[in-house]
Structure 1
Amino acid sequence: MEEQHVARPHPDLDAELGTIVLVRPGTPHDYGTRGERWHFLYAHLHPKPDWLPLLDWPEVASGILQLRPAAPAAERIASRLRDAVRHQHSVLPQGEQLSANALEAALLWCDTQNPKAVRIDDRLLRVIELIDQDLKAQLDVPGLARAVNLSVSRFAHLFREQLGVSPRQFVERRRLDAACRLLELTRRSIASIAAEVGYPDPLYFSTRFRRHTGTSPTAYRR
């Protein structure tokens, strides 16, 4: 007689407001609501190889993984997912890549809330958000330390301890990485891009850009 295999249903799992659920491929599942109204964001994805470490979440049932991020992080994640949807409907030829970048950003924010990963201090997450909100602002160490009520020395020590670089190095990397994206995705002048990411002097920007990437902004764009 042929052996019969019957899939056992998963136990009921609650997903409260802000909960993030990851369902592995091939996992039988169903979902519903206990109330009359509900709303959620979702994405079907084929993860890039370098995304796989970002998907190592706590497993609450076979094939079902969950995170319960703190409220500020949950909103950041939701915002990035909304960006991913918006870029999918963009008429820009770069829309697909922009959508993938937004999805990756959502997963990176998820990783900050993963108990299996190295947790980053909430104050540093706030600083990272401040940096990304306006790269052309005066992002000096004393100002960033004041924004999260830390002394300069304590802030600098905590930043290097958890992120592996100084605050100044982190800001420069963020600015130059943003410049790379603008060079790839727009036809704006190099001077305009330099100002947008916090370098009012285009010559100084080109010098730092070459040191960061090994090539000039013009060659990088080509």
Structure 2
Amino acid sequence: MRALICALAAAAASHAGAADVTWGEHGMALFGGKDGLYASHLPMFHAPHDYQVVLQVHVADPATDAALRRRLEGNTMLWTIAPEKFELSRLAPRSATPLKRFQADLVLGHFEQGGKTQYASSTIVVDKVLMFHKLSPELRAGTSASYVQIGGGAQRYLVKRIDSRPDYDHIVAYRAAPGAATDPISIGAQGLRQPGAAELAQALRARPDAIRGTVYFYTDDLK
């Protein structure tokens, strides 16, 4: 259903003569805690959502920012961002008109699947673009699954790089040992099966209990 709605919206924007095909409502998974807040665009294989984008962000209102970090700290519950519409291309590293902030509702749960708004009409400030790449719509099988590490302290996150079709969107929280490397990791091809904690821990050269749990795992929009 979400794919159909997005396709119709993209077609309507094109018919209206929109200059940028990435204009739309770009929902995001929200995760982090006291050491950092991050937002991961929920991608699809067609415009306007055919980009994988991960941001480091903060909430402009200090009280809301602090409260949100406290609620996220140490938890793997899903939060999402339901933002105002904007051109996703403005988050590209070399954009001529970079997007510095946007308005959004901050939602406990999935904003399209029964989630409950906790902080309405918040201003999200973009501190840094950590990942930005366009997805290819071609069907192809990957030989491995690559994960980028987000965060440099003890509390880190693994974000699956979407590089196959079909594929899966996966965000995992884990506790890193002091001095642990921040390099990407790879595991064997999984198809659409969610990798287990032991597989990820082995690639990290960490104990299995270092994997704290999955923040987000979804396949339906990436088939």
TM-score between both structures, scaled by the size of structure 1:
0.24
TM-score between both structures, scaled by the size of structure 2:
0.24
Q: Which of the two has higher C-alpha Rg? A: 1
Determine which structure has the larger strand proportion and give its number. 2
Higher relative contact order (CA 8 A, sep 6+): 2
